[in-house]
C-alpha cells in the first residue's frame, strides 16, 4: 500500500486496488496538542458509563435536579469563567457584541422572568423564529431556565412550515422580529389558536394581538432568577424533523440530554477550556442548538456566532480574525469552499485552527482530504440525527480517519447494522461491509422521548432494544460505519431533512395542480435538491409561465429551504394500486436508473 505524505504530518494511505474502506488518514495521537479528551478510544469505550458522566455536571443547587440552562450558563458564573466571553456575536455588517457568562446569566434570567410575567408556565412551548441574533440565544436559554420548552425554527421557512410546526407543538409564545412577523406570520396568525403571545425583537411597526416588545419586557424584568426544581426527564426542547408521509414530527428532548451534549462536546468535538469554537449551523436545525448553543457553553468555551449566511471569504476571514480553534461545519459549505480552491484558503492565517468537524450528510472522501490541502487538517465527519439529540458516531481526534466514513460509535453508544422485515425477524448483521439498517441500543441520555402527540409514529422507531435510524449503512472490519442511503423517501438537502409530503401538500393547494410527487435529485453541492413532478387538472396546460407560477407558489408557502428548485410537468404520475405516488420510480426515471420491481404499479406509464 502506497503512502502519501500530506501537509501537517498527516499521512494518507492509498492503494488503487484496495477497498475505499481501507484508505486512512493516519494520526499520531501522541503528537497532538492539546492531548485529545478521548485519547484512548478502546479503553474509554469499555469503561464509560453514562451514570458516571453526570459527575461532569453540577446539578441544580440543593439537589433539585438538572436543568440545561444551569449547566450551560449559571454554573460558570460562580467561578473563574464569570467574566469569560461565552458568545462573541458578529453581525451582518461586521459589528461585534460580546457576552460573558455573567452577561448571559442575567439576560437569560430576565427572559425567564419575562415569561413568568406573561403567565407562561413550565412545560408550555416557546417558539423562536429569527436569524442568528444574540436574542435568539438568550431566548432559548431563558426558556429552558423557566422550564418551558424551547423550539427554534429556521428563519428561511415560509408561513406554511411555521404554522404547521407551531400548531403541532401547541406553541404559546413566539419570539421573532417585526420583519419576519410581517412576512411570515401575520397571514397565518389566525390559524394558530394556541399562540397567545408574540415577542418582537428590534424595531418596526406591526399590528396584531398579544404583541410585546423584547426590550420593554427585558427592561421590566429582574436579572435574578432561581431555576425551579427540574427533573432530568422534563421536556426541554422540541426539534422538528420530517418523515416520508404525514406532517412533520416534533422530537421531544429532555433536560437530562445535557449530559450527552456535554460529553459529546468533549469527545467528538474535543472541546478544551481555551478553545474558540465556531459551529456554523443555524439553531433552527438540531445541530445549531445542541452544538451551536448548548455543548460549547456547558464546556465553558468561547463560542462565535456569525449572523451572515455562508460566503467562503467571509468565513475564512472569520476563522482568521477570531482565531477559531475548533470548527464544526457542514458538507454543503465545504463543497462550496472547494469550488473556490485551496489557494483561496491559504491566503489566510488559520494557524489557530486545530480541529475541524462536519455533519449533515456524508462528507465525500475528496472533501475530507481537501481539508488537509486547504487548512492543514482533515475534516472529521460525524453522524447523528434530530432524534438522537447528539453526536453518536464520529471520526475522532485521536483516531485515524477513514475518509468517507461516519466514524466509530462514541463511548456510551452501541450501534449495529440490522436486517429486519418491517420490524420483524430482527437480526444483527455481524459480517463486515454488509448493508442493513443502522440502529442504536436505546437508553442514551439525549435520545428523543417521543414525537409530540404521535405515540404510534414514535413506537415504530423501535424494535426490541433498538432505535431504528431509517438510515442504511454498513460497518467495516475495523468498526467504522459507512452511510449508504435513506431507507425511505425523505430528501436531504444541504444537510436538512425535507419531507416530500409537506412539499406535495403545498403544491396541491394551487388550483392548477391535480397531483404532485416530490423527490430528492442528486446534486454535487447540496447533496439533493427538491424536485417536483406535477400533473395538472383538466383545463390547464403546461407552460413556462405556469411552471414559474408553481415554483413561486411553493417558495411563498414553504420558503426557499423547503420549496422545489425544479419542477416538471407530467401527464400522469406513477401510482401504486392503493393510489400512493411512487416517488422511487419518479426518481429512477429522473436518474435513468433501472426501474426495479413494478409489480405494485397501478397506472399509466408502465
Partner 1 sequence: MTEAEIRQLVCDILSDIAPETDPALLSGGRDIREGLDIDSMDFLNFIIALSKRAGVSIPEEDYPKLFTIDGVVAYLTSIGQP
Non-local CB neighbours of 390 within 8 Å, separated by 6+ positions = 257, 260, 261, 264, 290, 295, 384, 444, 446
Q: Does residue 312 bind partner 1 (CB under 8 A)?
A: yes
Cβ(567)–Cβ(545) under 8 Å?
Answer: no
Strand order in the sheet with 197-200: 211-213, 197-200, 173-176, 125-129, 149-153, 235-241, 249-254, 450-451
Among candidates 267, 258, 263, 297, which has minimal Cα distance to 279?
297
The CB-of-377 to partner 1 minimum distance in angstroms stands at 22
Q: Does residue 345 bind partner 1 (CB under 8 A)?
A: no
Query: Between 36 and 159, whose beta carbon lies closer to partner 1?
Result: 159
Cell numbers 458522566 correspond to what residue? 53
Cβ(583)–Cβ(500) under 8 Å?
Answer: yes
Count of residues that bind partner 1 according to CB under 8 A: 30
Binding pattern for the stretch 495-534 against partner 1, x by CB under 8 A and - elsewhere? ----------------------------x-xx--x-----
Among 85, 118, 352, 551, binds partner 1 (CB under 8 A): 551
- Contact stretch for partner 1 (CB under 8 A) within 79-87, 372-380, 442-450, 547-555: 547-555
Distance CA 50, CA 519 (A): 40
Residue 366, CA distances (Å) to 9, 38, 347, 371, 529 in order: 18, 26, 21, 9, 21
Among 494, 506, 507, 534, binds partner 1 (CB under 8 A): 494
- Contact stretch for partner 1 (CB under 8 A) within 266-274, 335-343, 397-405, 500-508: 335-343
Among 14, 555, 584, 589, binds partner 1 (CB under 8 A): 555
Among 344, 352, 426, 487, binds partner 1 (CB under 8 A): 344
Distance CA 226, CA 92 (A): 35
- Contact stretch for partner 1 (CB under 8 A) within 445-453, 472-480, 507-515, 552-560: 552-560
Class of residue 363 by CB neighbours under 10 A (exposed 0-12, middle 13-18, buried 19+): buried
Q: Which positions from 560 through 579 interact with partner 1, judged by CB under 8 A? A: 560-561, 565
- Contact stretch for partner 1 (CB under 8 A) within 25-33, 401-409, 511-519, 546-554: 546-554
Distance CA 109, CA 103 (A): 10
Query: Between 328 and 451, whose beta carbon lies closer to partner 1?
Result: 328
Class of residue 140 by CB neighbours under 10 A (exposed 0-12, middle 13-18, buried 19+): buried
The CB-of-339 to partner 1 minimum distance in angstroms stands at 6
Q: Does residue 429 bind partner 1 (CB under 8 A)?
A: no
Binding pattern for the stretch 355-374 against partner 1, x by CB under 8 A and - elsewhere? --------------------
Among 336, 342, 429, 487, binds partner 1 (CB under 8 A): 336
Class of residue 205 by CB neighbours under 10 A (exposed 0-12, middle 13-18, buried 19+): exposed
Give the binding site for partner 1 (CB under 8 A): 156, 309-314, 332, 336, 339-341, 344, 493-494, 523, 525-526, 529, 548-549, 551-553, 555-556, 559-561, 565
Amino acid at each position: 500500500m502506497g503512502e502519501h505524505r500530506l501537509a501537517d504530518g498527516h499521512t494518507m494511505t492509498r492503494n488503487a486496488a484496495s477497498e475505499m474502506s481501507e484508505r486512512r488518514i493516519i494520526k499520531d495521537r501522541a503528537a497532538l496538542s492539546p492531548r485529545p479528551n478521548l485519547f484512548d478510544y478502546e479503553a474509554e469505550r469499555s469503561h464509560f458509563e453514562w451514570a458516571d458522566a453526570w459527575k461532569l455536571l453540577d446539578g441544580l443547587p440543593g439537589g433539585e435536579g438538572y436543568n440545561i440552562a444551569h449547566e450551560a450558563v449559571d454554573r460558570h458564573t460562580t467561578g473563574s469563567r464569570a467574566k469569560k466571553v461565552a458568545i462573541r456575536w458578529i453581525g451582518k455588517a461586521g459589528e461585534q457584541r460580546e457576552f460573558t457568562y455573567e452577561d448571559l446569566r442575567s439576560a437569560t434570567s430576565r427572559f425567564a422572568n419575562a415569561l413568568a410575567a406573561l403567565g407562561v408556565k413550565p412545560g408550555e412551548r416557546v417558539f423562536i423564529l429569527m436569524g442568528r441574533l444574540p436574542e435568539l440565544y438568550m431566548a432559548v436559554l431563558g426558556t429552558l431556565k423557566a422550564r418551558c420548552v424551547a423550539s427554534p425554527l429556521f428563519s428561511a421557512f415560509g408561513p406554511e412550515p411555521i404554522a404547521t410546526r407551531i400548531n403541532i407543538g401547541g406553541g404559546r409564545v413566539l419570539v421573532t422580529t417585526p420583519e419576519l412577523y410581517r412576512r411570515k406570520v401575520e397571514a397565518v396568525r389566525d390559524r394558530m389558536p394556541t399562540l397567545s403571545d408574540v415577542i418582537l425583537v428590534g424595531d418596526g411597526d406591526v399590528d396584531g394581538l398579544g404583541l410585546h416588545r423584547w426590550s420593554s419586557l427585558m427592561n421590566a424584568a429582574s436579572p435574578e432568577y432561581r431555576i425551579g426544581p427540574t427533573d432530568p426527564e422534563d421536556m426541554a426542547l422540541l426539534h422538528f424533523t420530517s418523515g416520508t408521509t404525514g406532517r412533520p414530527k416534533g422530537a421531544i428532548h429532555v433536560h437530562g440530554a445535557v449530559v450527552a451534549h456535554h460529553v459529546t462536546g468533549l469527545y467528538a468535538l474535543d472541546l478544551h477550556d481555551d478553545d474558540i469554537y465556531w459551529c456554523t449551523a443555524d439553531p433552527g436545525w438540531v445541530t445549531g442548538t445542541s452544538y451551536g448553543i448548548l455543548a460549547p457553553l456547558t464546556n465553558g468555551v468561547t463560542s462565535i456566532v456569525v449572523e451572515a449566511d455562508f460566503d467562503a471569504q467571509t468565513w475564512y476571514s472569520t476563522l482568521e480574525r477570531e482565531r477559531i480553534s475548533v470548527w464544526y461545519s457542514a458538507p454543503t459549505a465545504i463543497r462550496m469552499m472547494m469550488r473556490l480552491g485551496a489557494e483561496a484558503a491559504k491566503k489566510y492565517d488559520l494557524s489557530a485552527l486545530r480541529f475541524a468537524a462536519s455533519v449533515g450528510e456524508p462528507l465525500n472522501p475528496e472533501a475530507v482530504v481537501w481539508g488537509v490541502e486547504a487548512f492543514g487538517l482533515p475534516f472529521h465527519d460525524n453522524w447523528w440525527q434530530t432524534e438522537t439529540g447528539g453526536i453518536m458516531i464520529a471520526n475522532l481526534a485521536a483516531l485515524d480517519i477513514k475518509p468517507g466514513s461516519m466514524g466509530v460509535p462514541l463511548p456510551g453508544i452501541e450501534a449495529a447494522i440490522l436486517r429486519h422485515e418491517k420490524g420483524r425477524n430482527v437480526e444483527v448483521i455481524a459480517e463486515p461491509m454488509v448493508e442493513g439498517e443502522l440502529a442504536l441500543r436505546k437508553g442514551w441520555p439525549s435520545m428523543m422521548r417521543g414525537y409530540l402527540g404521535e405515540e404510534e409514529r414514535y413506537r415504530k422507531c423501535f424494535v426490541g432494544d433498538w432505535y431504528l435510524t431509517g438510515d442504511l449503512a454498513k460497518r467495516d472490519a475495523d468498526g467504522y460505519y459507512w452511510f449508504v442511503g435513506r431507507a425511505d423517501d425523505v430528501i436531504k438537502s444541504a444537510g436538512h431533512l425535507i419531507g416530500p409530503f409537506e412539499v406535495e401538500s403545498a403544491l396541491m393547494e394551487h388550483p392548477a395542480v391535480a397531483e404532485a410527487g416530490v423527490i430528492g435529485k442528486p446534486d454535487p453541492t447540496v447533496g439533493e435538491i427538491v424536485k417536483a413532478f406535477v400533473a395538472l387538472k383538466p383545463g390547464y396546460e403546461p407552460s413556462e409561465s405556469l411552471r414559474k407560477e408553481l415554483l413561486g407558489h411553493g417558495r411563498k408557502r414553504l420558503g426557499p429551504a423547503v420549496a422545489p428548485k425544479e419542477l416538471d410537468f407530467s401527464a400522469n404520475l406513477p401510482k401504486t394500486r392503493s393510489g400512493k405516488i411512487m416517488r422511487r420510480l419518479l426518481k429512477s426515471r429522473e436518474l435513468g436508473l433501472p426501474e426495479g420491481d413494478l409489480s405494485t404499479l397501478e397506472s399509466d406509464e408502465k
